[in-house]
Structure 1
Amino acid sequence: MGVKGEETRARLIAGTRALIEAQGYFGTGVNHIVAESGAPRGSLYFHFPEGKDQLVAAALTQAGQEIEDLLNALAAEGVDAGALTRRLTEIFASRLERSDYAKGCPIATVALEVAGTNEPLRAVCSAVYGSWQRVLADRLEAEGFGPLEAETAAGQALALLEGAVLLASVRRSREPLDHAQHAVLHLIGAKASRSE
């Protein structure tokens, strides 16, 4: 694929990401994606022959990978689990505030919509969340948690933050995220102090 083709594909993914996060899967049609991306309709089916679901899967995967890469980079620098969760909280809070509480977690809106109705997209969302959880669990293990304890604590931390994104959006306030972050630090700190 040439440079122009890659640029068109990238525009389609970027447009889809913006739309599905703000409007959800069901609120975003192919015509919306074409208009948002500025790409010809035929290009959508050239790059994504399976249509909307394939494009949404690519958008979710890319969004999830960006956050996973950031968390991995921080972990590689030796940043502790508390700082990792603070950074994830700030990412979500910043996205909410910049979008007037329309966008927080780039996966959550679609995940909530498709979990019971669209198995391929549910699996993509699950894989993204799983990758974030794994980064945090690995960091917790490096800090002295056992493997099962680390996996459990990382899952609890992610659940707290994701739930807080929903509450922050509904309340139009970052306060639920700040409270969730405090709870996560308590969870991690309490466990870490018991394992010493």
Structure 2
Amino acid sequence: MGRKGEETRGRLLDATQDLIEGGGYFGAGLNQVVAASGAPRGSLYFHFPGGKDQLVGESVRRAGHEIGLLVRDLAETAPDTASLIQGVLTLLGDRLEASGWRRGCPVATVALEMAAVNDALQEVCSEVYGSWEDMLRERLAADGHAEAGDVAVTVLALIEGALLLARAHRSREPLDRVARRILALL
């Protein structure tokens, strides 16, 4: 695929990510994706022959990977897990607030809507969450936490819940409160 094809594919994925973060799976209709991306309708089917589920799945996977890269970048400079978690919460809070409280977790909305009814999308959501959990577990283990796996799941759940509450309240306060509890936990 040439550069132009990759650019078109990227625009379709970007539009889908924005639409699903703001309105979920059902808020990302194919007509909306085409309109938001500026791509020709035929490009949608060329790049995503599996239809909407393939498009959403790849968008969630891509967004999860992007967040993962941001966390890895933070991990390189954070002296310990507590500092890393504080940086992650700040980063996600900044992202959420800058988007007008629309862009919380790029996985959560799809997971909530589709995990019980769509095996392929459930697997993608599980894969992304698993990769984030692995990153946290590895860092916790490196810092000497004996129950790194359990703590990683707890921290991830607290972050996800805080993002949901911050979005619902349109306030960073839930993120700040959870940051304090995570620091106490660590």
TM-score, normalised via structure 2 length: 0.95
Name the counterpart of 1:42.
42
Task: Quote the Cα distance in structure 2 between the aligned partners of 1:182 and 1:77.
Answer: 20
Q: Deviations along 1:57-82, whole A, 9 cap, x unmatched?
A: 11111111111112223334463211
Aligned positions of 1:46-125 closer than 5 A: 46-77=46-77, 79-125=79-125
Does the residue aligned with 1:26 lie in a helix, a strand or coil? helix
Residues in 1 aligned to 2:79 and 2:53: alpha-carbon distance in whole angstroms: 36
2:144 corresponds to: 144
Matched with 2:167 is 169
Give the alignment of 1:15-30 within 5 angstroms: 15-30=15-30
Maintained 8 Å contact 1:84/1:136: no
Q: Residues 88 and 115 from structure 1, CA distance in 2 versus in 1: closer, same or farther, beyond 3 angstroms?
A: same
Between 1:31-40 and 1:66-75, the stretch displaced more is: 66-75
Secondary structure of the corresponding residue to residue 102 of structure 1: coil
Question: By how many angstroms is 1:140 displaced?
Answer: 0.7
CA–CA distance in structure 1, aligned partners of residues 113 and 83 of structure 2: 30
Mark the CA change 1:11 to 1:81 in structure 2 (over 3 Å): closer, same or farther.
same
2:78–2:84 contact (8 Å) kept in structure 1? no
Distance 1:120 1:60 in 2: 12
Determine the C-alpha separation between the residues in 2 that align with 1:26 and 1:125.
16
1:9-30 CA-partner distances (Å, limit 9, x unpaired): 0110011011110011012100
Unaligned runs of 5+ in 1: 189-196
Post-superposition offset of 1:49? 0.3
Question: In the alignment, is residue 182 of structure 1 matched against residue 180 of structure 2?
Answer: yes
Q: Which stretch shifts more, 26-35 or 70-79? A: 70-79
Structure 1 counterpart of 2:173, one-letter code: E
Give CA deviations for 1:55-113 in whole Å, capped at 9, x if unaligned: 11111111111111122233344632112211221122112211221221111111111
Query: For the structure 1 residues 129 and 79, does the alpha-carbon distance in structure 2 shift closer, same or farther, using more than 3 Å as the test?
Result: farther
Q: Percent identity?
A: 54
Q: Quick check: 167-176 or 97-106, which moved more? A: 97-106
How far, CA to CA, are the matches of 1:102 and 1:16 in structure 2?
14
Output the CA distance in 1 between the equivalents of 2:20 and 2:30. Answer: 11
Take 1:125 and 1:63, find their aligned partners in 2: how far apart are those partners? Answer: 11
Aligned partners of 1:59, 1:80: CA distance in 2, in Å?
Answer: 31
**1:10 aligned residue:** 10
In structure 1, distance between residues paired with 2:168 and 2:93: 13
